[in-house]
Amino acid sequence: MLRRDRSVFTDDFKVMSDDTSIPIDISFVYSGILKDEGESFCHGSVIDGYFHGSIQTRNGTFYIEYEKHDNGTVESYIYHEKDIDYSLMKDVKSFELSLKKYEFLERMKWNSKEESVTRTKRSVDMSRTTCLMQLKADYLFFKRFRNLQEAISQIAGYMRSVNAIYDQVNFNGIKHINFKVKVLNIIQEKQPDNAMNSAYIGPEKLLMLHSSYNYNNVCLSYLLTNRDYNGVLGVAWTGKEGNNGGICSMFSKLKDAPGTEGSLNTGIVTIQKYGQYLPPRLIHITLAHEIGHSLGSPVR
């Protein structure tokens, strides 16, 4: 039993394409339960009559995907969460590479003290638990999924799973943290004049480029891409107490580059590793992990 579900999007959610707002119907996103299992839950999308998403049952979680081939045929397949190769997340070499990226980013921290806009310690409103996000999907991500509906349905699945993860976390009394997408910018075509166009930009450089825009209107902004970073799946600026970085950081000056400004409430996630497209569950974990750094979880 399915019902339309736009809970991961704000009421004023908008889709941008090449910096132009475009009307789009997102009624293809659904959630629901199995008819004979009240404790179950499913979330996904129905596009052209094909469902893809996840189904949580008493016997574990199942994932349903489909692949459209150039000859017009479609293959659907279902697999259990135990069938996923989680070793892709336990690569020691990848961890060492990621750690080096974070060490580099720490050296490049933005310094807003000169502008007197550093964050000050303030009381916490325990009732405000929704973080608004602006997501950008670059043309490599879009190319992987071929059209707007497919790209949006993937992102809806990412956010629903991230919310399921954070709904179980207690942040010193703050519970039920959730994330909603306010703006989704999807780059549908290659942009030769865009500095982010090259497929060979390193993750730290790509994050710097994404961070060069002002995201003061949201809590976080993440870039989704489909690039092979030799095992690195994502990077994000880490939030720290008394430090301008992570969630809700404001657009500010770069410490070692006079005249350059940027945002530190940002991160990037790629959907492939060593040339292999990651199962959705691993993308969910990666995005949740990077958001954790944005919220202040240290790199270890």
Catalytic residue numbers, as ranges = 290
DSSP state of 218: S
- Strands (DSSP E) found in 127-217: 130-137, 170-171, 174-175, 178-186
User: Is there a contact between 86 and 282 (Cβ–Cβ < 8 Å)?
Assistant: yes
User: Is there a contact between 97 and 231 (Cβ–Cβ < 8 Å)?
Assistant: yes
State the Cα torsion 26-29-35-39 to the nearest 10°: -130
| 155 vs 280: CA distance, rounded Å | 10
3-state secondary structure of 298: coil
In sequence order, which residues have a C-beta less than 8 Å from that of residue 73 and are 6 or more positions away? Answer: none
Bridge partner residues of 224 (DSSP): 137, 269
In sequence order, which residues have a C-beta less than 8 Å from that of residue 10 and are 6 or more positions away? Answer: 132, 180, 181, 182
At 175, give phi and psi (nearest 5°). -120, 165
Q: What angle do CA 117, 252, 13 make, to 5 degrees?
A: 100
